[in-house]
Structure 1
Amino acid sequence: MNHVFTLFVLTSIAASGQGPISDSARMANIHVLVTDGWGNPVSEAMVQLKPMGGWGSPRWIRYPKESRITIPPGAYVVSVDANGFRKYADIGDFSAGKSFVPLSLVVADIETPEPDRQPSLIGRVARALLTNPPFWIRIVGINSGDARNIEIDDTGTFAIPHLLPGRYMVFVMNAGVLKDSRIVEVRSISKEIEIDAPEKALPE
């Protein structure tokens, strides 16, 4: 099963000085890091950057022997093949300058007729943290680009389905104000958590 997520690209563009811009300054300089959902390094992977719209040929990175590549700016389909991991596919829009691209892979399940298991995160939030509606949970993958917002119901419970195994930051929000944050590990089975009020309230 292929999974497509939001690709976070950290980009820095060098300020141009006086005089004409060199050809190298007009290019996108990509640095990739390939890990699993827990931040562990992947020993070997093939990363492909395929221009969208058919305007150029695909480029390859043989990771980790290679981790950097220079390409024309533009939108690319980024895909990763690595033994023992599910195929990764995403879209990246790279501008001129330096871009750091973390790529998080998911361990492949054993081949069975059953669909891949995707765990859920189910939780209950203490009433003391729910003071100013609307209430919601924001969850962000630490090593992946998965980010979602899920409403907390009137009983203080929430459920986030179809997650990939890995570490996540979980934020409790009240009308845009952060009330609590914590790191949660989600593995191959669904996880239940209780979010109690902290001993010391977060500054608003």
Structure 2
Amino acid sequence: MYDIAHLAQLRKDAEYNGVDFGRAQIEPTPDGNFAVKLKAPIVDVAGLLDPLPQLHFVARSALQAEARMLDSLIKIQRAERQRVRLGRVTSWSPMDIVRRPLTAEEVAAFKADLAHQQKVAELQAELAAALQAKQAAGKAKAQAAEIAGRYGARPAAPVPVAQAVEEVEPVPGVATADQPRADLITVEALLAQAPQAGARRHPNKRK
């Protein structure tokens, strides 16, 4: 909870730190409270501001709404300035680094460097994956060659067709193309014998 004295100090701190008040909005609610909305940080402030202040909240009084809004704006914007300038600005005092408002050029340069670093990290990860795949393929090839050398693995020679056909022994009583059965009677032989058989069946038949 905030009181009048605390609110007065927050107003001075906000002016001293050049806070951008346009990044917050206070609106009355139908039930007589105050809804406060803050814009998200323009850069990642994780690790510098933990926990991150709530960006949307409701206060029961105007004093509480204004004080909490100012407190959150100060914390967020000071953390943003520290993130953008840390390691990039060396001629300023620590107080000036977090107190002076960021310029559009500073933010653009920071985001460009961040994008470049992310791209480099992605390329390094892709290169590492490609090298790992190449090493795995080479290892597999060497192991396959070792197995082939151990067991003399090589393509099998084709089997000649003549050797692949299984020879069948002639079966007695069964005619084949090369060995017809001697005891088989052909249709021509039966027709030739037909008249003689008829004459024997009717020996007394008159002519």
Please report the TM-score for the alignment, with normalisation by the length of structure 2: 0.22
Q: Relative contact order, CA 8 A, sep 6+: which one is greater?
A: 1
Q: Greater Rg, structure 1 or structure 2?
A: 2
Structure having the larger proportion of residues in strand:
1
Return the TM-score normalized by structure 1: 0.22
